[in-house]
């Protein structure tokens, strides 16, 4: 019998584990709700509490939940992965205690607030952080498999991002599971409808998804609906890899970078380490006004849509920042690798807590804790000069790099699959059939 989640009740005003008082609802989803809470046992620090209905013990849903929490704990401690502080079981519900991210997710930052619109330094700063978070996971044998803007949280100004949601993450270097994730961000081999391997690289599929996210940040839309030849935009890309710059407001150098990310053959796809270096080399991800004026109607329409979506339109000619050379060669750097720290207070065996405490029954609740006394931080969306932060992105001379296929712990020849020529022949045969 399939697992059907029950709605999470309104818990505003309740206290969880005699510690976290819920003061606001942040949002709801199909499998739970996220609340804003304050720690009434400390100095009033705020957290995000994700409440989900606990699966029946030994059920598939329960195994999936505990597996997700365990995987998250294994990659915790990186500055660009949202911290999971605690897991608390209360009756039918489980509460996950995360750091609160006031800027919401990357999807809203791109589509509603247009945070990255024609801001090269901010795109570079945020995207390299995301690459570093994914690299941290891969180094520990964790592959996300559901990379998308909705699973990336950000600060109000977009200068800091955190990877979240490990519900579909895998610990296998190679997998046979196709169709896992969000279709628009899946690689052709992950979709598995036109290209089939006996096993394919989870790491290379994560790289593909990062490429789609980068297109989102540059153009506010995806390059295609799905990486299949029945999709007209993907079909055009297979015929002519330069087509992305003909339909989207993407610079020529960004277009070349994306061609290496969207390599049809996963064994020819750029690695994370190479992607990081190439992103740092890009001078601008966006077309100039002159290039837009000389481009196709699709490009002009995409620029206008990006500039005018959300609540407050902004001029198309918003000035762009071009990083200086010194921003890319400073030897100071965020370490390429991180030592995970212990999760303070984490109980991943999921200990039981007392029942949820109503407001009127706890002495601790006599503290006046309301949205008014603990207001949501007001975001100043003006983008500050983050040139100093850009210098931290340069790769230090001591950084270690590995061969192109270093993310595969088994020899490439053991992936018994079609050669590049076979892959492309099948794709072109399908294209000819559809013309």
Q: Which CATH number is 309's domain given? A: 1.10.510.10
Burial 39-53 (b: 16+ CB within 10 A, else e): ebeeeeebbbbbbbb
Ranges 227-236, 255-264, 421-430: which has the least confidence: 421-430
Is residue 421 located within the same domain as residue 353? no
**Type and span of the H or E element at 162:** strand 161-163
Is residue 56 located within the same domain as residue 117? no
Residue 66 in any domain: the answer is yes
Percent of the chain topping pLDDT 70: 69
Residue 251 in any domain: the answer is yes
Give dist(CA 108, CA 211) in Å, integer.
Answer: 18
Is residue 197 located within the same domain as residue 92? no
- Residue 18 reports pLDDT greater than 50: yes
Which residues fall within 8 angstroms of residue 42, CB to CB, at 6 or more apart?
Answer: none
- Residue 248 reports pLDDT greater than 60: yes
Residue 237 — φ and ψ, nearest 5°?
A: -65, -40
Q: Is 146 marked active-site?
A: yes
Question: Which of residues 414 and 219 earns the better pLDDT score?
Answer: 219
Residue 272: predicted pLDDT: 96
- Residue 125 reports pLDDT greater than 50: yes
Which residue is catalytic, options 17, 132, 146, 407? 146
Angle CA(291)–CA(322)–CA(256) in degrees, nearest 5? 55
Report the Cα–Cα distance between both ends of the chain, in Å, rounded: 44
Give dist(CA 159, CA 380) in Å, integer.
Answer: 12
DSSP state of 39: E
Most confident of 52-56, 290-294, 425-429: 290-294
Mean pLDDT score of the chain, rounded to an integer?
Answer: 77
The answer to whether 136 and 338 have CB atoms below 8 angstroms apart is yes
**Over residues 417-431, mean pLDDT:** 54
- What is the pTM for the complete model shown? 0.74
- Residue 399 reports pLDDT greater than 50: no
Which range marks the domain in which residue 410 is found? 106-323+405-428
Which has the closest alpha carbon to 312: 112, 42, 164, 58? 112
Residue 220 in any domain: the answer is yes
- Residue 324 reports pLDDT greater than 60: no
Is residue 94 located within the same domain as residue 133? no
Strands 46-53 and 84-90: unpaired
Handedness of CA 166, 409, 342, 87 (dihedral sign): positive
Name the band, by pLDDT with cuts 50, 70 and 90, for residue 155: very high
Give dist(CA 278, CA 272) in Å, integer.
Answer: 10
The residues that bridge with 127 in the sheet, in sequence order, are none
Q: Helices (DSSP H) in 76-119: which residue ranges?
A: 106-111
Is residue 341 located within the same domain as residue 297? no
Question: Which of residues 144 and 197 earns the better pLDDT score?
Answer: 144
Name the domain count of the chain. Answer: 2
- Residue 101 reports pLDDT greater than 80: yes
Q: What is the CATH number of the domain that holds 94?
A: 3.30.200.20
DSSP state of 316: T
Is residue 319 located within the same domain as residue 343? no
Is residue 418 located within the same domain as residue 279? yes
Name the band, by pLDDT with cuts 50, 70 and 90, for residue 359: very low
Is residue 299 located within the same domain as residue 225? yes
């Amino acid at each position: 019998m399939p697992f059907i989640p029950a709605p999470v009740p309104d818990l505003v005003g309740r206290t969880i584990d005699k510690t976290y008082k819920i003061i606001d609802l942040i949002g709801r989803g199909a499998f739970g709700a996220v609340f804003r809470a304050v720690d009434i046992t400390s100095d009033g620090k705020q957290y995000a509490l994700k409440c989900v209905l606990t699966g029946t013990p030994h059920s598939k849903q329960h195994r999936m939940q505990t597996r997700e929490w365990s995987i998250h704990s294994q990659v915790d401690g990186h500055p660009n992965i949202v911290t999971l502080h605690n897991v608390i079981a209360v009756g039918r519900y489980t509460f996950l205690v995360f750091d609160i991210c006031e800027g919401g997710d990357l999807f809203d930052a791109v589509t509603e607030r247009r945070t990255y619109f024609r801001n090269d330094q901010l795109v570079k700063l945020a995207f390299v952080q995301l690459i570093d978070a994914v690299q941290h996971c891969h180094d520990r044998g964790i592959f996300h498999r559901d990379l998308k803007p909705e699973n990336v949280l950000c600060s109000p100004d977009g200068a800091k991002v955190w990877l979240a949601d490990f519900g579909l993450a895998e610990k296998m270097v190679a997998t046979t599971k196709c169709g896992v994730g969000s279709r628009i961000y899946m690689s052709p081999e992950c979709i598995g409808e036109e290209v089939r391997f006996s096993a394919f690289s989870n790491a290379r599929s994560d790289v593909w998804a990062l490429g789609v996210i980068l297109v989102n940040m540059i153009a506010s839309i995806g390059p295609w609906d799905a990486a299949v030849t029945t999709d007209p935009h993907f079909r055009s890309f297979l015929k002519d890899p330069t087509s992305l710059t003909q339909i989207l407001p993407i610079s020529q150098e960004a277009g070349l970078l994306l061609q290496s990310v969207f390599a049809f053959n996963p064994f020819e796809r750029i690695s994370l380490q190479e992607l990081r270096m190439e992103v740092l080399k890009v001078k601008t991800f966006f077309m100039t006004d002159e290039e837009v004026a000389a481009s196709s109607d699709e490009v002009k329409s995409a620029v206008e849509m990006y500039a005018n979506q959300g609540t407050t339109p902004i001029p198309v000619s918003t000035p762009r920042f071009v990083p200086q050379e010194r921003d890319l060669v400073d030897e100071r750097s965020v370490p390429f690798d991180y030592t995970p720290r212990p999760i303070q207070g984490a109980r991943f065996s999921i200990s039981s807590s007392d029942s949820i405490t109503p407001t009127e029954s706890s002495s601790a609740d006599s503290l006046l804790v309301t949205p008014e006394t603990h207001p949501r931080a007001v975001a100043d969306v003006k983008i500050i000069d983050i040139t100093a932060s850009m210098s931290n992105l340069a790769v230090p001379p001591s950084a270690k790099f590995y061969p192109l296929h270093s993310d595969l712990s088994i020899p490439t020849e053991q992936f018994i699959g079609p050669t590049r020529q076979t892959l492309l022949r099948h794709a072109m045969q399908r294209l000819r059939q559809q013309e």
